[in-house]
Amino acid sequence: MPLTLCPECNNRVSDSAQACPYCGHVLRDKVVFIKPEKSGWLAALLSLFIPGAGHLYKGHVISAILWFLLVGSGYVILFLPGLISHGLCILLAGIARTK
């Protein structure tokens, strides 16, 4: 059983111990689950076909709805604003952090 030093009292304790048996110092913090980051390329690809789908894929529901409405209305009003906002939507879906 490998030993490690307690950072609080410098006694040798098992590295599998949750807390130091000498001073009670907590050696292991609570387990933190980190969600895996979703693919930026897939999010961008989804937004290419359906504006906002990439944001939805990354868990940003409100952003997904807003992007869908913005890009959709941009295409309906004039082609260029739709194209610009669609490009921005794809870019931002790709770089957005997973929620």
Q: What is the 3-state secondary structure (H, E, C) of 42-89?
A: HHHHHHHHCCCHHHHHCCCHHHHHHHHHHHHHHHHHCHHHHHHHHHHH
Rounded to whole angstroms, how far apart are CA atoms 99 and 22? 41
Of 10 and 73, which CB lies nearer to Zn ion in the complex structure?
10
- Report, in Å, the least distance between residue 13 CB and Zn ion: 7
Which residue number, 8 or 97, has a Cβ lying nearer to Zn ion?
8
Which residues of the shown chain bind Zn ion in the complex (CB under 5 A)?
A: 6, 8-9, 20, 22-23, 25
| Least spacing, CB of residue 6 vs Zn ion, in Å | 3
Which residue type sits at 32?
Answer: V
Nearer to Zn ion, 20 or 44 (CB): 20
